[in-house]
Amino acid sequence: MSHFVHRVRSGIFGFVLLAALTNVAISQSKSPVAPSEQAYNNIVKQAYDNFKDDSSGKNADYIPALAKVDSKLYGIAIVTTDGRVYKIGDVDKAFSIQSISKVFTLALAMEELGADEVFKKVGSEPTGRPFNSIPAVVDMPTHAGNPYVNAGAIATASLIRGSSADEKWKKLLAFYTKAAGTQLSLLEDVYQSEAATNTGNKAISMLLAKYDRIYSDPFESVDVYTKACSVGVTANQLAVMGATLANNGKNPVTGEQVIKRENVPHILSAMLMAGLYDGSGSWAWHVGIPAKSGVGGGIVAVMPGKGAMAVFAPPLDNAGNSVKAQKAIAYVADQLNMNIFSPASVGLQ
Ligand code: DON
């Protein structure tokens, strides 16, 4: 065999081998460094027991319906990229998704407009301010800040295509439902309560209009956003939504590709920078996992390539993040080497 033929053959062999390996990598949905079943079961139970009697923090009360939710509710669910579920506590109690909806509104906006267009129109800079800051809308060069503060989320909702506010809302609900893998619905009492009290968000929408950073009618966009925040989810459903992100946008339970895989890193990087608002820097420093909170008491943390953990516990800290959820996720992340900045998270000991 001539040297040339040999090189071509080994080139073809190399190509076929690479294609086979790439294919394995693409269809493989279980990380080679994923914790064992036993490790997940033990750690989830420990995280639950360690913090179940922690009574620090306080329910959100600026949305009156949230103040009425039982502050003792506490549930933890982990869903892995190969569809396994570990859960304990109040994991089947529906609560309002609140700001966690912002993650999936961003995802749908990117499906429709592409990531670059959304980035241009909304931005992705942490504000270092409370999630509902009005001064931040004036001060931030992008005005909308990022998709996870109220201003940026209202701007993102205004980008969703549709001929009416109702059509946009229905599209969002259908999209969230695909990510959860089970039908979600509006918590009417939470929606009515927030709609009757959201003057701050309306002010933000008018300021965005002043800076040409809202792309549909301002008050209609606030209404779509308010409905999105009032969607009911259980910790179990929220963990599936997070696991869809961890699994390159493919729901690991239904097998449906919900989010384009190339958009997932944008969604997760924004979660790391701004998912816990003005608590995000401390969270990244101490825990190092992309996460998103909501004032309903939920937090979802995404462990890329491994799975997601959702915790529901209503009492919040001053930044608006569930106290018990942060503690439980931090504990699990530490015990299972999930910090994405630690080489141990990819198996390098
Ligand atoms: O607009 C609001 O204030 C609420 N619908 C959502 C805020 C929120 O969840 C912030 N989360 N930590």
Average pLDDT value for residue range 337-346: 95
CA-295 nearest atom, ligand 1: 9
Pocket flag, ligand 1, residue 98 (CB < 6 Å): yes
- CA 201 – CA 203 distance, rounded (Å): 5
Query: 69 C-alpha to center of ligand 1: Å?
Result: 16
Pocket flag, ligand 1, residue 133 (CB < 6 Å): no
Query: 148 C-alpha to center of ligand 1: Å?
Result: 9
Q: Which residue has the tokens 């060069």?
A: 141
Pocket flag, ligand 1, residue 229 (CB < 6 Å): yes
**pLDDT exceeds 90 at position 7:** no
- CA 292 – CA 274 distance, rounded (Å): 8
Q: Are 106 and 268 in contact (CB under 8 A)?
A: no
pLDDT category at 31 given cuts 50, 70, 90 is confident
Which pLDDT belongs to residue 19?
42
Pocket flag, ligand 1, residue 247 (CB < 6 Å): no
Q: Are 78 and 85 in contact (CB under 8 A)?
A: yes
Q: Which H or E run contains 176? A: helix 165-180
Q: Are 107 and 175 in contact (CB under 8 A)?
A: yes
- CA 265 – CA 270 distance, rounded (Å): 8
- Give the pair of three-digit tokens for residue 296: 């309903």
**pLDDT exceeds 50 at position 9:** no
The helix/strand/coil state of 318 is coil
pTM beyond 0.85: yes
**pLDDT exceeds 80 at position 26:** no
CA-100 nearest atom, ligand 1: 9
Which pLDDT belongs to residue 12?
44
Query: 230 C-alpha to center of ligand 1: Å?
Result: 10
Query: 99 C-alpha to center of ligand 1: Å?
Result: 5
Q: Identify the CA nearest to 304 among candidates 85, 38, 29.
A: 29
Query: 311 C-alpha to center of ligand 1: Å?
Result: 17
Q: Are 181 and 254 in contact (CB under 8 A)?
A: yes
Q: Are 98 and 312 in contact (CB under 8 A)?
A: no
- CA 344 – CA 326 distance, rounded (Å): 21
Query: 198 C-alpha to center of ligand 1: Å?
Result: 10
Average pLDDT value for residue range 269-288: 97
- Any idea how long the chain is? 349
Q: Which residue has the tokens 């912002």?
A: 102
pLDDT category at 22 given cuts 50, 70, 90 is very low
Average pLDDT value for residue range 282-304: 98
Pocket flag, ligand 1, residue 99 (CB < 6 Å): yes
Pocket flag, ligand 1, residue 132 (CB < 6 Å): yes
Which pLDDT belongs to residue 34?
86
CA angle 192, 193, 197 (to 5 degrees): 110
Pocket flag, ligand 1, residue 131 (CB < 6 Å): yes
- Give the pair of three-digit tokens for residue 59: 């329910």
- CA 248 – CA 179 distance, rounded (Å): 12
Residue nearest to ligand 1 atom 7, measured at CA: 99
Pocket flag, ligand 1, residue 194 (CB < 6 Å): yes
Q: Identify the CA nearest to 189 among candidates 235, 238, 230.
A: 230
pLDDT digits (tens, 9 = 90+) for 144-157: 999 999 999 999 99
Residue nearest to ligand 1 atom 4, measured at CA: 98
- Give the pair of three-digit tokens for residue 330: 């931090």
Which pLDDT belongs to residue 260?
98
Give me the chain's average pLDDT, please: 93
Q: Which of 104, 132, 189 to mutate to test the pocket of ligand 1 (most atoms within 8 A of CB)?
A: 132
| pLDDT, greater one: 47 or 7 | 47
- CA 255 – CA 244 distance, rounded (Å): 9
Query: 253 C-alpha to center of ligand 1: Å?
Result: 28
Average pLDDT value for residue range 299-318: 98
Query: 90 C-alpha to center of ligand 1: Å?
Result: 22
CA-230 nearest atom, ligand 1: 5
CB atoms within 10 A of CB 112: 15
Q: What percent helix, strand, coil does the chain show, rounded to 5? A: 55, 10, 35
pLDDT digits (tens, 9 = 90+) for 171-221: 999 999 999 999 999 999 999 999 999 999 999 999 999 999 999 999 999
CA-132 nearest atom, ligand 1: 3
Q: What percent of the chain has pLDDT over 90?
A: 89
User: Looking at residue 29, what DSSP letter applies?
Assistant: -
